[in-house]
Amino acid sequence: MQKNKKHVRFLCEAALIAAIYVILTYFCAAVGMSSGAIQLRFSEALCIFGLFTPAALPGVALGCFMANLLTGCALWDIVFGSLASLIGMIGLVALKKFPYIAPVPYALANMIIVPFVVKLVYAAPEALPLIFLTVGIGEIISVFGFGIPLYLVLKKHKNTIFK
């Protein structure tokens, strides 16, 4: 029975993280933060959950998939944006013993993959290096500017929140 409870807890945590990701993405889209030259998503900070629970890996990837699907992104953006998040989460989890640098793979995966999607799928007129720069700035702000403070808050309560 204990194994079943752990499985249910894992699924619930992943689903909750995915739902929060979608809600935060909708909020950023509603206030125009996720569509400018520098795209900001508070939801990207949730990658930090990967430092506390293995459920964050599928939770963030699924949340990204659902958010991109529900906000009307193109098919290739849904696929490759979600893949970038999944790859980034794998890297983050691999570095979780080093919490202040663990988000680097997450930011890099998005900084490398997303600009190609923006350029090829949405036919962005900007040069690819500029898109790398602007996506990178948005990722750094989202993952480090929002994510590390979130990490510091969660770290104080990790034994209560993440059992």
pLDDT digits (tens, 9 = 90+) for 65-80: 999 999 888 999 999 9
38: confidence class by pLDDT, cuts 50, 70, 90: confident
pTM above 0.85, yes or no: yes
> Can you tell me the distance from the alpha carbon of 148 to that of 134, in angstroms, rounded to the nearest whole number?
20
Stretch 85-111: mean pLDDT:
97
Q: Is the pLDDT of residue 35 over 70?
A: no
CATH code of the domain covering residue 43? 1.10.1760
HEC per residue, 106-152: HHHHHHHHHHHHHHHHCCCCCCHHHHHHHHHHHHHHHHHHHHHHHHH
Give the model's pLDDT for residue 33.
Answer: 85
